[in-house]
Structure 1
Amino acid sequence: MKNKNGYHASAARVDQDLIDFPNGMVYSESTFCHKGMPVLTEKLLLHLLMILAPILGYGFYQDHLRASRSPYLYGVLLGISSLVCMAFPFYYLGFYWDLRNIPMVIAFLYAGQGPGFITMGAILLMRTVIGGDQLLFGYVNCLLSGGFLYLMSRSFLGLSSRKRVNIVVLISLWPMLVSLLMLVIHLSIQPVKESLALLPLSNIVMFGFIYIVAAWIGAKLNETMLEHRQMKEKIRRAEKLNTLSDLAASIVHEVRNPLTVVKGFMQLSQRRAEDAPNYVPLILEELNRAESILNDFLSFARPELKKLESLDLSRMLDHTAVLLTPLGLKAGVMVTADIEEGIVLTTDKSLLQQAIVNLMKNAVEATASGGQVSLQLKREGGEARIHIADTGAGMNEAQLKRLGTPYYSTKDRGTGLGTSIALRTIETLGGSLSYESKVHVGTRVTIRFPLAAKTPNPPLPE
C-alpha cells in the first residue's frame, strides 16, 4: 500500500496496540521484531555512496581536469545526490530512511550560497513529485533548513577546520530533532502504552546516528579537499615569490655589470678630460647592453602581441637565415636553409622573428668552428614545422629537462632567459616548441604551428 507520505509501504497490522505516526507510517511491536540488519547495512552503504560519489568526483575533477573551482557544478552534483537519495529510500523497522539533507548542508557550507540553493531546489522539486499529505510540512522543513544554512554559510569558511566539522555534525541532528518533536506532539494527542512509544523513539535515535556518521564523513572529505586546495595555493604563491626573488637578483646582477663599467669610464673622464670623447662610445655600448638586458626581462615577464598579420613564413625564414650567416661565418659555422615555399601564417611577425633569431643564435653559439646549423621549413600533417638543427656538443637528459627554465643556461655568459623567452613567445603565438638532443652529436629544435586559422593566445595575467 502507499502511505500518506507518498512512498509505498507494506506494514502489516497485528492484534495489538498500534501507533499511527504523523508521517503516515504504522508502527507496532511486531513491526520492529524482524531481523533486517544485513539489509540496513547494505542500504546504508548505498546511501553513503550516493553522498560521497559527488564529493569524490568533484575533488577528482578539480585536481586533474582543471585548476579553477566550479562551485555551481559542485552544487549540481550534490543536488543530483539528494534526488537519488529521495528516489531510493530504504525501509527498515517500519521506517523510511534517506539522507537527502546532507548534500544540501555540504553545498551551502562548503560550495557557497548559489550551489546551496541549487541543491535545495532539487529537494523541493523531488518532494513535489513525491507528493503526499505531508507535502506542506516537507516544504516548510526544507525552507527553514535552507534559510538557516544560508545564514551560516556567510562566516562558515572563516572558522577553523575542527569547528567547521563540529558545526556540520550538529546541523545534521536537525532531522532527528524534527522527528522527535513530531513524536512528542503525536503522543500528546494520541497516548499509547509505553512499550510502543519507545519503538519509534529508538528508530529516530538510530536515524540521527546514521545522519551524524554520514555528515561527519562528508565534512571530513570536504575538509581534506579544502586543505589540499589551500596547500596548492600556498605552494603556488611560494613558487611565485621564489621566481620574483630570483628575477630581482638576476636583474641586479646583470644590470650592475654594465653600470659598473659606465661608472668607471665616467670617473676616468673626470680625471682625464681630454680622453673623455674616447670613452663616450664605450659608455653608450654598455648602456645599450643594460637596456637590452632589461628588455629581455620584460619580454620574459609579459610577451605582448603587437600586430597580427598575414605573414609569408617562407620568406621571413629565408631572410632570417641570411641575417644569421655573418654571425656563423665569424664563428666558423656554416648556416644553411631548406625552406618550402608558400607557407603563410597569421601571427605577430616581430615576436616570431625575434624568437627564431634567438634560437638560431643559440644554435650558432653552441656549435664549434667547422660545424653546421640548418634551418628547415616544411608542411607536415596540417602543420608548419620549423626545424633548427646544429652539430654542437649536444645535451644530456638532465640538461634537456631544465631547458627553458628561467635563469638556466648552458653558456658561461647570459641571463639564461633566451630560451625561456622563445618558448613563451611561441606558445603565446599559438605554437609549440620541443627539443631533441644527443651528446657529441647535436641538438634539434622543432617549432609547430597549425596551418588552420587559430587565434594566438593572449599573454597570461601576472
Structure 2
Amino acid sequence: MEAMMTGMINNIFFIIFPIILYQMFATAGQRNFFVSHRITMTILFSISIILCMLFPYQFLTEDYIFDLRQVPMIVGALYGGPIVSAVLFIVSAVGRIAIGGDGMYIAILNQFLLAAGVPFLAPLYRKVNRWWKAGLVFIISIVSLLFNLFAGYFFFGDPVHDLIGIWLMLMLNQGGIIILTALLIEHLQKQEYLYTSLMRHEKMETVSHFAAAVSHELRNPLQSIKGFVQLMQEYEYPRSKQLEFQQTILNEINAAENLIDDYLVYAKPAYDELKPIEVEPELLHVIKIMSPYAKARDVEFFVRTDHLPSKILGDSQKLHQALVNIIRNGIEAMPTGGKLDIELENSSQSVCVLITDEGTGMTKEEVKRLGEPYFSNKSKGTGLGLMVTYSIIHQMGGDISVDSEVGMGTKFTLEFPKLPE
C-alpha cells in the first residue's frame, strides 16, 4: 500500500508540476497555456507523459501496474487541439513501445483513439462552465479505461467479473485526478483572465484620466486665446493694445506647450544621453534658484551635505526639474512659512536626497496616490508636477519614497544607485 501511494503521488506530481512551473515562469498577461505557448506546454506535457510511464505503480494487486499518462494526454488534447494531441500520441506510443510487455498494442490503440477523438470534443469543452468541464474529462477518462477493460477481455480472455473491482477503483483514481487537473487549469486560466482584464481596465482608466486632464487644462489657455482673437476681430485697437493682446496670446500658447511637454515627459521621457553627474553641485544649484521663491513665502532652507563624491548616472536638466518640483511642493505646503530641510547622504551603494517640510502633511491614502495623473492636494493643481518627477526619478534608475503625517509635515527621499569611483 505504501509503495502504491508513493507511486500515485509521484504520478500526480509529474502531472501538476509542469502546469505550476509554466505558471511561475510565463510572462504575466500571456499565460494562456496552449494558446500563448503551444510548443512549451506540449514539451512539458510530453515530459509528464514519459515520467508517468517510467514510474508506474502497482494498484491493489501485484499483478497489475498502472500510470496516469492518460491525464496529460486528455487534457493536452482538449486544450491544445489536434496538433498537440498528435504530438502527445507519438510521444506516448514511442514510450510504450520502448517499455514493451503484454498489452502494448491495446495501450497504443487506446492512445490513438484518444488522440484522434478527444480534439473533436474541444469546441464543446471550451463552451461549457468549469463543472461541466470536470464532468466531461471524467467521462472521457472512464470511457478510455472501459476500452482497456473490454479489450483485455476480448484479446487476452481476462475475466471481467474478477477485475471489475480493480477497474472501478482505477476509474475513480484516474477520474478524480483528471478532474483536479482540469479544475486547476481552469482556475489558473480564470486568474489570468482577471489579471488581463484588470490591466486592460487600468490602462483604459489611465487613458481616460489623461484625456480628461489634458482637455481640462488645455481648455483654459485655448479659451483665453479664442477670446483675444475675437476681440481683435471685432474692434480696432491701437497698435500698443494689439501688441499687448498678442503677447498674452503667446503666453497662453507657451503655457499650453509646457502642459503638453509635461505629459510627454511622463508618457515617454526624453533624455539627453545619460552620463555621470555629481548630485551635490546640481542640488546646490537648484537650491540657489529656488531661494528667492522660498524667501518670498517666509520659508528658510537648512542644507546639509557630507561633501563626499555623489556621482550617479543621469540627466542634469531632468534632475533639476524633479528637484524643483519637490522643493516647490514643500514650500507651498507651508503657507505661513517654516523650515525646509534638504540633506544629501552618501553610502557605498547609493546617493540619497532627503527633503523634509513642516507643512500640512498628508494621509496614507494621499501618499499612495502621489504621482498619479489627475491627483493633487492643491486646489488648482493637476498632479502633473509630481507625476513627471516620479517618471524622471524612475527613468534614471532611482527610487522615491514619501513619509508624511497630517499636521507634521512630509519627507521625500530620493535614492539613486551610486557610480563606482
Per the normalisation by structure 1, the TM-score is 0.74
1:3 matched to which residue of 2?
none
1:218 matched to which residue of 2?
181
Distance 1:197 1:149 in 2: 26
Distance 2:322 2:121 in 1: 54
Residue 260 of structure 1 pairs with residue 228 of structure 2:
no
Pairwise CA distance, 1:370: 3.6
2:58 matched to which residue of 1?
90
Q: Map 1:250-289; keep pairs closer than 5 Å.
A: 250-274=213-237, 275-289=241-255
Pairwise CA distance, 1:435: 0.8
Distance 1:166 1:306 in 2: 61
Distance 1:242 1:299 in 2: 19
- Matched to 2:163, the amino acid is P
Distance 1:271 1:230 in 2: 59
Given that residues 51 and 218 in structure 1 are in contact (C-alpha distance below 8 angstroms), is that contact kept between their aligned partners in structure 2?
no
Pairwise CA distance, 1:112: 7.9
1:459 matched to which residue of 2?
none
Pairwise CA distance, 1:281: 1.5
Q: What's the secondary structure of 1:406's corresponding residue?
A: coil
Q: Which runs of 5+ in 1 are unaligned?
A: 1-37, 454-462
Relative to structure 1, the CA distance from residue 285 to residue 102 in structure 2 (aligned partners, 3 Å threshold; closer, same or farther) is same
Deviations, residues 190-234 of structure 1 (Å, cap 9, x unaligned) = 5x8xxx442234533442343223222221222122122212222
Distance 1:140 1:347 in 2: 66
Q: Map 1:75-154; keep pairs closer than 5 Å.
A: 81-82=48-49, 85-86=52-53, 87-93=55-61, 94-110=63-79, 127=96, 130-132=99-101, 142=111, 145-146=114-115
Distance 1:328 1:169 in 2: 74
Deviations, residues 287-338 of structure 1 (Å, cap 9, x unaligned) = 2112222222222222244422222323222222222223223323233543
Pairwise CA distance, 1:406: 2.4
Relative to structure 1, the CA distance from residue 335 to residue 156 in structure 2 (aligned partners, 3 Å threshold; closer, same or farther) is farther
Pairwise CA distance, 1:448: 0.9
Pairwise CA distance, 1:243: 2.2
Q: What's the secondary structure of 2:196's corresponding residue?
A: helix
Q: What's the secondary structure of 1:251's corresponding residue?
A: helix
Q: Which runs of 5+ in 2 are unaligned?
A: none
Moved more, 166-175 or 251-260: 166-175
- Matched to 2:60, the amino acid is Y
- Matched to 1:364, the amino acid is I
Deviations, residues 2-44 of structure 1 (Å, cap 9, x unaligned) = xxxxxxxxxxxxxxxxxxxxxxxxxxxxxxxxxxxx8799579
1:183 matched to which residue of 2?
152
- Matched to 2:318, the amino acid is L
Deviations, residues 265-293 of structure 1 (Å, cap 9, x unaligned) = 22222343323222111111112112222
Moved more, 411-420 or 77-86: 77-86
Per the normalisation by structure 2, the TM-score is 0.80
1:31 matched to which residue of 2?
none
Q: Map 1:35-434; keep pairs closer than 5 Å.
A: 46=9, 49-50=12-13, 53-54=16-17, 57-58=20-21, 61=24, 68-69=30-31, 71=33, 81-82=48-49, 85-86=52-53, 87-93=55-61, 94-110=63-79, 127=96, 130-132=99-101, 142=111, 145-146=114-115, 158-162=126-130, 164-173=133-142, 175-186=144-155, 196-274=159-237, 275-339=241-305, 340-434=307-401
Pairwise CA distance, 1:367: 2.5
Pairwise CA distance, 1:379: 1.1
**Identical residues among aligned pairs (%):** 26
Q: What's the secondary structure of 2:414's corresponding residue?
A: strand
Q: What's the secondary structure of 1:436's corresponding residue?
A: strand
Relative to structure 1, the CA distance from residue 45 to residue 186 in structure 2 (aligned partners, 3 Å threshold; closer, same or farther) is closer
